[in-house]
Chains A and B, each alone.
Chain A
Amino acid sequence: MRIDRRRMIVLGTAGAAATLHQPLLRTAAAAQRGSSASGDELPAREASWYKKLEEDRVECELCPQACKVADMERGMCGVRENRGGTYYTLVHSLACSIHTDPIEKKPLFHVLPGEKAFSFSTAGCNVECKFCQNWEISQFRPEQVQAYNLPPEKLVAAARRNGARLTAATYGEPVVFWEYVRDVAIAANAVGVKPTVVSNGFIKEKPLREVLPLLSAIKVDLKSFRDEFYRKQVRGELEPVLKSLEVIKEIGVWLEIVVLLVPTLNDSAAEVRDLCAWVKSKLGPDVPVHFTRFHPTYRLTDLPPTPVASLERAWKIGRDAGLNYVYLGNVPGHPGENTTCPGCGEILIRRVGYRILSNRLVNGSCPDCQRSIPGVWS
């Protein structure tokens, strides 16, 4: 079912009400009502990654778009604004979507299976995927969506009240609220909550390296293995994303990759084969790769949902390429949702959708052949 923007706001509000409790909500509501605010009513905090240019212009150094932004203008993300030569983020602590999700929804299949992730997002995105599932928030500016003033400490406190052992910066694109991601991660780590991120990986190396050590896990959407797809369908580039994946691997933060297979655009056997070969050679066979099913939305409404046969072909290609953990997503009940031991072939974690039916892992290892299964299990 499609959720339109109004419905999203209603759900977001309901979610906030359910999770934050009234005292915080009142504070938040008094501070922010975004739907009719103009940009200069938003809370502004100086951005962490940019440089000043001549004549009050700035250059953003957060993502590879490297926007050069004149006074009074914003970058492509729509959430960073130049005010008189100083660049500001307008979304720090301004969450427009919050919800407690199972970690399987991210999906992070090798991170505390069955645990809750307190998930949050702001408006804005640094690319424009024509197939964006969350375009009602990612493609809007902060003053165009209703949002709550939710500072990192309050967010983490809300997560703990809701029994979440994890936080997840997700839904929209965390790169555009990277300072908020950083500060939530610091607050979360201070109280033993594990911070995670779901991102497109389209970020410059310096800010990535600065925040990665604070994270417990990151899921990256590798939207294609073809630069042309990135340029035409995403308005980004492939190379910086591949670089991010290598940096994540180097730093050692737990990484999972999702590839949304869009019929006719990025689902050819050749492309999937190239992608899997690259993952194995550069990141290793133990990085989970999730091939997920596309549903028509936003600007790609003239394509059908991904045929299950295409997903199963990718699943087979991945395993044939030597990847140990290949999953299928958005096909509830498919065996491709389960975690299987690469050593003995036994099913270790059985899933249906976001539900865990059984988890046989013992201290992160297969109980049958004692093979260690990589991930964040405790």
Chain B
Amino acid sequence: MKKLTRRELALIFGAGVLAGTAQGKVWKPSVRPGVVGLAEARAALGKPLGPEAARRAMAGALAASVGAESGAEAAVTMFSPRDIVGIKVNCLAGKYLSPRADLVEALVDLIAGAGVDRRRIIVFERSSRELQRAGFTIRESGPPYRCIGTNNDYDREPSTSGAIGSCFARMVSTTCSALVSFGVVKDHDLSGVSAGMKNWYGVIHNPNKYHDNGCDPYIADVARHPYIRNKLRLTILDGVVAQCHGGPAFRRGGIFELGMVAASTDPVAADLWAWREIEAERARRGMPTLEAAGRPVRFLASAARAGLGVDDPTKLSLVSA
């Protein structure tokens, strides 16, 4: 794939600025605390949803998350044409338990529909190899969007947020103005749940340092760093197939067909929903709760205390498409 020249980049940025100015007002992304939009999407393990079903699910979840009439309308409230949008996918578990490429592409289409040039939409993960293993095609410069690993391109100095001190991927610190966490619904051996918030461990250089104490308060500390907090527009959770036990790697025995896609502007609420679904499946199987299994989900309370979202189940509002 051809890399963008400086002139091309300047043109793209310029177009974005003009488009934003043409709107004639200060654009602010919409935020709906506690609201999680849900859409049905069913496919068996390892099978694609198909483009049409993926588009329908993604548009439905997005619209439900902000009370919009359509996915396109919802995307306009979340992304400005001036944005450079980074979509962080969590591909640690390989092809069976990573965000489905057709869902990711459906989201890209919606963001592009909001006026963001496709070359300013970047799907990324820690390494290109992880993306490839999960079924993504590396696209250095697009079209139809860019898809690349950050490949150890970190800030040169560490940045502190609460208890963590990390070099952040320049993708989030410098390149992108808007971020999407695109995770999967899965159990995690230490944090209990790995969905949207833990996905951000993939943008720091030293995640291995922050897995003690159920990853708490570290998950919240990464998410409340201004690089994430000030840029996060949306959390998407691929729950078409989920995993209630044995994570974060793929383990067939823990897999279940949840058949849902979730979208939320509240990262805490999104993970709260994922936690609830995992616990429900564990209960159905007669398994102990995550807390009883020795991995209580602590990080959501820390995230809520940091003002990142709603962790109170009574305030969780699930809106179906």
Contact = CB atoms under 8 A, between A and B. Distances in A.
A298 B249 contact: no
A130 B130 CA distance: 31
Contact of A38 (B129, B160, B211, B251): B129
A242 interface: no
A78 B160 CA distance: 19
Nearest to A84: B249
Interface string B236-277: 000000000011110100000000000000000000000000
A70 B154 CA distance: 26
Contact of B158 (A67, A77, A299): A299
A74 B208 contact: yes
Given A35-B152, A38-B127, A78 B209 contact: yes
Contact of A141 (B208, B249, B251): B208
Given A36-B152, A57-B189, A298-B165, A72 B92 contact: yes
A78 B246 contact: no
B206 interface: yes
Interface string A75-87: 1111000000000
A6 B249 contact: no
Nearest to A2: B157
Contacts of A143: 152
A40 B309 CA distance: 36
A77 B92 contact: no
Majority secondary structure, A binding face: loop
Interface string A35-70: 110101100000000000001110000000101101
B246 to A, nearest CB: 6
Interface in B203-228: 205-206, 208-209, 211-212
B184 to A, nearest CB: 14
Nearest to A127: B209
A72 B152 contact: no
A375 to B, nearest CB: 37
A213 B157 CA distance: 39
A73 B189 contact: yes
B151 interface: yes
Contacts of A72: 92-93, 248-249
A140 interface: yes
A38 B158 contact: no
A4 B130 contact: no
B7 interface: no
Interface centre among A38, A41, A67, A78 (most CB of B within 10 A): A38
Contacts of A196: none
A75 to B, nearest CB: 7
Contact of A71 (B129, B205, B212, B249): B249
Contact of A76 (B128, B154, B165, B209): B209
Nearest to A55: B246
A298 B206 CA distance: 14
B248 A5 contact: no
Contacts of A56: 249, 251
Nearest to B160: A299
Contacts of A5: 156
A55 B294 CA distance: 15
A144 interface: yes
A273 interface: no
Given A36-B151, A57-B189, A299-B158, A70 B249 contact: yes
A65 B157 CA distance: 26
A352 B27 CA distance: 63
A140 B206 contact: yes
Contact of A128 (B154, B209, B247, B249): B209
B189 A144 contact: no
A38 B125 CA distance: 12
Contacts of A78: 206, 208-209
B249 A4 contact: no
A140 B155 CA distance: 13
Contacts of B93: 72
Interface string B141-162: 0000000010110101110100
B190 interface: yes
A135 interface: yes
Contact of A70 (B126, B130, B209, B247): B247
Contacts of A235: 209
B211 A76 contact: yes
Contacts of B249: 56, 70-73
Nearest to A300: B165
A237 to B, nearest CB: 12
A144 B248 contact: no
Interface in A216-259: 235
Contacts of B152: 35-36, 143-144
Given A36-B152, A70-B190, A135 B158 contact: yes
Contacts of A93: none
A89 interface: no
Top 3 closest A-B pairs, CB basis? A70-B189, A72-B249, A38-B127
18 contacts: A4-B157, A6-B156, A36-B151, A38-B128, A38-B149, A70-B189, A70-B190, A70-B247, A72-B249, A73-B189, A73-B249, A76-B212, A128-B209, A139-B206, A141-B208, A144-B152, A144-B205, A298-B158
Interface of A: 4-6, 35-36, 38, 40-41, 55-57, 65, 67-68, 70-78, 128, 130, 135, 139-141, 143-144, 235, 298-299
Interface of B: 92-93, 126-130, 149, 151-152, 154, 156-158, 160, 165, 188-190, 205-206, 208-209, 211-212, 246-249, 251
